[in-house]
Amino acid sequence: MNFQKAKFITSAAELEGCPNPHFPEVCFAGRSNVGKSSLINTLANHNGLARTSNRPGKTQIINYYLFDDKLYLVDLPGFGYAKVSKEERERWGRDIRDYLLQRSTIRLVLHLVDIRHEPSDLDEQFFYWLASNRLPFIVVLAKGDKISHNKRQQSKARVERILDEMNIEVPIVISSAEKNIGIGDLKELIRE
């Protein structure tokens, strides 16, 4: 795995439309606008690959990118998008959880949290849910370039405490899609 080659494969609005699970998968989850699509672009070193936007709710379907002809990076729709109805938000949460449970080829979930903000209740519920369902995951503190080095470490310590209290032991990676922070570490974790 050297992240040399990346191409868009397909989009799916629901589980039925997903491509056959021919390849292992790494899924990108987290709130709308946290930077999931941008991170996929940075990993691919190809800025136009996944569509990004400063308008939250850009990615509302599941997008598949095939890396090095052997691994899917899967861009999941962001959760918690405020502009849709509560029912719609809940349905998305359910759909994403169903997806993660039913897709047997998932090897890793990257759960992104904006490094500037405390994890929301939804984030914490998701940590707990992932751990309870034994889905391998890591926490990515995204947009690391937006704050100072000290603030980054504080933010990481805060998330460490939250995970500790839940007895969850997973890697926490500070990243920036814009300034290439933590990208080497993420590639290493994905390779593993």
Which residues contact Mg ion (rule: CB under 5 A)?
37, 58-59
Looking at 18, 26, 27, 37, which residue binds ligand GTP (CB under 6 A)?
Answer: 37
Our CB check for Mg ion shows the closer of 59 and 155 to be 59
Looking at 56, 108, 135, 147, which residue binds ligand GTP (CB under 6 A)?
Answer: 56
Q: Does 145 bind ligand GTP (CB under 6 A)?
A: yes
Looking at 4, 53, 102, 153, which residue binds ligand GTP (CB under 6 A)?
Answer: 53
Our CB check for ligand GTP shows the closer of 109 and 142 to be 142
Residue nearest to Mg ion (CB): 59
Name 158's Cβ contacts closer than 8 Å, sequence gap at least 6. 118
Residue 63 interacts, among ligand GTP, Mg ion, none and using kind-specific CB cut-offs from 5 to 8 Å, with none
Residues contacting ligand GTP: total by CB under 6 A: 22
Contact assessment for residue 72 and residue 64, using Cβ atoms and an 8 Å cutoff: yes
Q: Does 119 bind ligand GTP (CB under 6 A)?
A: no
Our CB check for ligand GTP shows the closer of 97 and 146 to be 146
Looking at 25, 64, 72, 78, which residue binds ligand GTP (CB under 6 A)?
Answer: 78
Our CB check for ligand GTP shows the closer of 132 and 180 to be 180
Our CB check for ligand GTP shows the closer of 70 and 83 to be 83
β-sheet bridge partners, residue 26: 73, 108
As a three-state string, the secondary structure of the chain is CCCCCEEEEEEECCHHHCCCCCCCEEEEEEECCCCHHHHHHHHHCCCCCCCCCCCCCCCCCEEEEEECCCEEEEECCCECCCCCCHHHHHHHHHHHHHHHHHCCCEEEEEEEEECCCCCCHHHHHHHHHHHHCCCCEEEEEECHHHCCHHHHHHHHHHHHHHHHHCCCCCCEEECECCCCECHHHHHHHHHC
Residues that bind ligand GTP (CB under 6 A): 32-38, 52-54, 56-59, 78, 142-143, 145-146, 176-178
